[in-house]
A and B are shown apart, each in its own frame.
Chain A
Amino acid sequence: MGYEPLVNQNPLRVLNLGRGSKQLGLVMARAGLGKTALLVQIALDSILRGNRVIHVSIGESIDKTRAWYDDILQFILQDHSVSRPHELIDMVARHRMIMTFKEDAFSRPRLEERLNDLILQDIFRPNCLVVDGFDFESADRAVVEDIKEFLESMSLQAWFSATRHRNDDRVSPAGVPAPCHEVDDLFDTVILLKPEKDATIELEIIRNNGVSVDAGTGLKLDPSTMMIKEG
């Protein structure tokens, strides 16, 4: 379809991330560094490879979530010429579904019910789930375990985002900061986003597919698209 350059420049491809069907991933950063943008990139990567993605947004509106996709696609289309941009935009829209929840309305039973509504009526069969805005600070381990178990039972790949706080120094033995320092072992892949001085974002991989990665393994990303910075 001519989307190869897009697929190739997606950070996930280079890192060979996001392949396993039951994989559970985590993206961590301080507020405003591009967690949502990276989740959208993860979703786009999956969509460009022909998968269907549900974007769960907790505490955001449908319009705002959709605007993330529109903006990032616009950026991508500016940098990479695609023969029929409308088809790409349409394709993304058809392979994506947005589920937004008010903070206190999100729970495993609710999510399970919604996914079953979609799958049993053959409305939308997702391969991948991205969950933005999940509150790790007030969720205990049992809750995260419960969600993990459910996602595994559905054979879904899933990615969560979590917000780090400047004045919270707690870290897990593997090097995963709070608020996920007590549940980090439940995730197969953990990525940290850090700001760099040259206005790029460094993507540091703490664990990849269950294998811990040496410090210093990272990539520089363009903050507007979360694509790999060229040159």
Chain B
Amino acid sequence: MKRDLDKVRNIGISAHIDSGKTTLTERILYYTQRIHAIHEVRGKDGVGATMDSMELEKERGITIQSAATYCNWKGHDINIIDTPGHVDFTVEVERALRVLDGAILILCSVGGVQSQSITVDRQMTRYNVPRIAFINKCDRTGANPYRVTQQLRDKLNLNAIMLQIPIGLENDMEGVVDLVTMKAIYFDGDQGDKLRYEEIPDQLKDEAEEKREELLDAVSMFSDELMEAMLEEQEIPEEMIHAAIRKGTLSLELAPVMIGSAYKNKGVQPLLDAVNAYLPCPLDVENIALDLDNDEAEVKVSNDPNDDLVALAFKLEDGRYGQLTYIRTYQGVIRKGDTIINTRTGKKLKVGRLVRLHSDEMEEIEEAGSGDIVALFGVDCASGDTFCAPSLNWSMSSMHVPAPVISLAISPVDNKAQGNMSKALNRFTKEDPTFKTFVDHETNETIISGMGELHLEVYIERMKREYGAEVEIGAPQVAYRETITKRADFNYTHKKQTGGSGQFGRVGGYMEPLEEGEYEFVDEIVGGVIPREYIPSCDKGFQASMKKGTLIGAPITGVKLVINDGSFHAVDSSDMAFQQAAKGAFREGYAKANPVIMEPIMKVAVEGPSEFQGAVMGSLNQRRGMIVGTFEEGNYTVVEAEMPLSEMFGYSTTLRSLTQGKAEFTMEFSSYKQVPKSVAEELIKAFQAEKSEG
């Protein structure tokens, strides 16, 4: 099968929760004839939208996992990655963005640019993803696509240009005026599948002319031809405008704005046309791999199907038939029966079943070309792994994975749950790099950690539903850390004489705060006062000490350790003895280095009606928050604050009751900061009490 890469689109649909992402995807699949009936997200028919494949998602009406699906529109192959909208799942979003070439940013015509849209848009900018904005829900009361377009400019700094204007809004929305062709488009039939093109209604003619001028002005920046044609006041061909819009969109300097209402079946087909016309094909996007055989030198992937295979596993799912691995190919062709290599583990594997996905259903295929998104069956790997032909040893650049900020102790209710729980945890950690789990050897508890309360809650739910593992949950724990604030010297002798050969080692030096990085070990020993072979033992001893601080038993970070003195004994010194000496030296220095406790600080944005701003600020202030700033527009306001994570438990409930459910907040990790004295004292007291009990 020869594929024309020009006609491939890998796109994401990304947006604020509840702005209608799933509904839009559903409509796209319907119009491209991948599905034959439309179900609603919270459908009464009990079937639910096709993209939300997990039961939990169906129940909550939100999309957690980004399922990939394929469709074809007017000769173009479109792979759609449905991305989650809640900030707790941003790793999922970011991972999806990695494999996308372009995206549709959906906005609610009433809610406009909300804080989540800002987060998602920032991520898209980071990954250089060109996007088309789709202002959805124009049928709702209060719809105002013009205001939302202005917000795209103000809040997201996008050069947002409307390609359409609405014919009526709210209940009266009938269709859109296409400003490129200057035609009115109506969507007839029960499901809006019959497009009717008419002359622009009289009352909209002036506005359409004016907006078309704006459009042409903006896109003429990207085409000299178009600029000339405008100056000479010639008739401007449609293709010229399309080409200029495409150029502007690909350079990320223009964001075309489309409007409609997916729920009312309006504006979806023109949006698909825009995806074909303006979003990049795999050839338009430069992707970089790292050559592992050549000191991780950067290499550009070629997109050429005749080259050797390079593919990235960006998502794992536990399907009914075993592990399903979603991959994106960057060059070469993957065929059933091929032998490929996982470059992280170096393991060879054989391609078994290869499928193209449509949410829950799948279609067996023989091969997939460069730039495609498909899935493999029964391949053992972790998400983020790269697969190559045996001749290559490349890795798609590693993804930035933030450290977890919150943890929770879980314990299975019975023996059956025990086994299922470990199966589930094993699966989740493979799927999601921000979800971590370990067993605390002191308490024998299983600890799970992640990026937020909801993040962990969803996994606990999944454990119960998908794996039948019921667990009891402890109180959420914030991931505190300890660090030092000043330089301190140490000089510690470890000596033990208990018959037979004893233990002896002396370690001297100093520790000081490290502005950047977690741990640094510097060996300044001269004259062999500590023999070479025992230097790594000191390093080991220090590193072991960093695992648990003496204040509250939290891991220690940001310490530079320098050894410059010591002594040894020809018989009694050993690896063990120097490790012990280093541990003693660390204890000694640490106590003098003015250690402090650090806590995760979150960047929180609360948005809602202005009347509640005072109450919102009060509630943040009470929770030890630092209000960074406020933004007001009309009757809508945003409060931005830096909040200690430990104070944010249950905040959604507080906020709901404070604002009659009209405000909402998002939260993302910002940095670690020292806890105030009073809080530190309490934490230390609690730790001491726990220690003496245990």
> Which residues from chain A sit less than 8 Å from chain B, CB to CB?
61-62, 65-66, 86, 90, 93-94, 97-102, 104-106, 110, 113-114, 116-118, 121-124
Contacts and interface: CB of A to CB of B under 8 A. Distances in A.
Interface in B621-639: 621, 626-634, 638
B376 interface: no
A124 B515 CA distance: 30
17 contacts: A65-B629, A90-B673, A97-B630, A99-B630, A100-B629, A100-B630, A102-B633, A105-B633, A113-B614, A116-B614, A121-B618, A122-B621, A123-B617, A123-B618, A123-B621, A123-B627, A124-B627
B614 A100 contact: no
Interface in B530-556: none
Contacts of B265: none
A103 to B, nearest CB: 9
B631 A61 contact: yes
A46 to B, nearest CB: 17
A101 B632 contact: yes
Contacts of B630: 62, 97-100, 114
Given A121-B618, A123-B618, A114 B629 contact: no
A96 to B, nearest CB: 9
A102 B628 contact: no
Contacts of B154: 61, 102
A101 B637 CA distance: 9
A100 B621 contact: no
A105 B515 CA distance: 42
Given A93-B626, A94-B626, A62 B631 contact: yes
A175 to B, nearest CB: 35
B385 interface: no
Task: Sort A-B residue pairs by CB-CB distance and give the 7 closest, nearest first.
Answer: A98-B629, A117-B614, A102-B633, A62-B629, A123-B621, A121-B618, A105-B632
Contact of B634 (A86, A100, A102, A117): A102
B493 interface: no
Contacts of A116: 614
B300 interface: no
A7 B628 CA distance: 24
Contacts of B640: 62
Nearest to A94: B626
B155 interface: yes
Contacts of A62: 628-631, 638, 640
Contacts of A122: 621
Given A117-B614, A118-B617, A97 B627 contact: yes
Given A98-B628, A117-B614, A123-B627, 16 more contacts: A61-B155, A61-B631, A62-B638, A93-B642, A98-B629, A99-B629, A99-B630, A100-B629, A100-B630, A101-B631, A101-B633, A102-B633, A106-B632, A118-B617, A121-B618, A121-B621
A80 B673 CA distance: 24
A66 B617 contact: no
A121 B629 contact: no
B14 interface: no
Contacts of B618: 117, 121, 123
B631 A121 contact: no
Contacts of A105: 632-634
Contact of A100 (B617, B631, B673): B631
B614 A121 contact: yes
Given A121-B621, A123-B621, A114 B613 contact: yes
Nearest to A64: B157
Given A117-B614, A123-B618, A123-B621, A100 B628 contact: no
A61 B118 CA distance: 12
Contacts of A124: 627
A113 B630 CA distance: 13
Nearest to B634: A105
A106 B634 CA distance: 9
A90 B628 CA distance: 12
A217 to B, nearest CB: 36
A62 B629 CA distance: 6
A105 B631 CA distance: 10
Contacts of B629: 62, 65-66, 97-100
A102 B617 contact: no
B660 to A, nearest CB: 18
A201 B634 CA distance: 37
B443 to A, nearest CB: 34
Looking at B613, B630, B638, B642, which has the most chain A CB atoms within 10 Å of its CB? B630
B76 to A, nearest CB: 37
Contacts of A102: 154, 631-634
B582 to A, nearest CB: 29
A66 B640 CA distance: 12
A6 to B, nearest CB: 20
Interface string B596-625: 000000000000000001100110010000
Nearest to B619: A121
Nearest to B122: A63
B632 A110 contact: yes
Contacts of B633: 101-102, 105
Nearest to B638: A62
Looking at B614, B629, B673, which has the most chain A CB atoms within 10 Å of its CB? B629
A121 B634 contact: no
A69 to B, nearest CB: 11
Nearest to B618: A121
A126 B154 CA distance: 28
Contacts of A97: 627-630
Looking at A65, A93, A97, A106, which has the most chain B CB atoms within 10 Å of its CB? A97
A47 to B, nearest CB: 14
A61 B151 CA distance: 11
A231 B165 CA distance: 59
Nearest to A103: B633
A118 B633 CA distance: 19
B116 to A, nearest CB: 16
Contacts of A93: 626, 628, 642
Nearest to A124: B627
A160 B213 CA distance: 37
Looking at B613, B621, B632, which has the most chain A CB atoms within 10 Å of its CB? B632
Looking at B155, B628, B638, B642, which has the most chain A CB atoms within 10 Å of its CB? B628
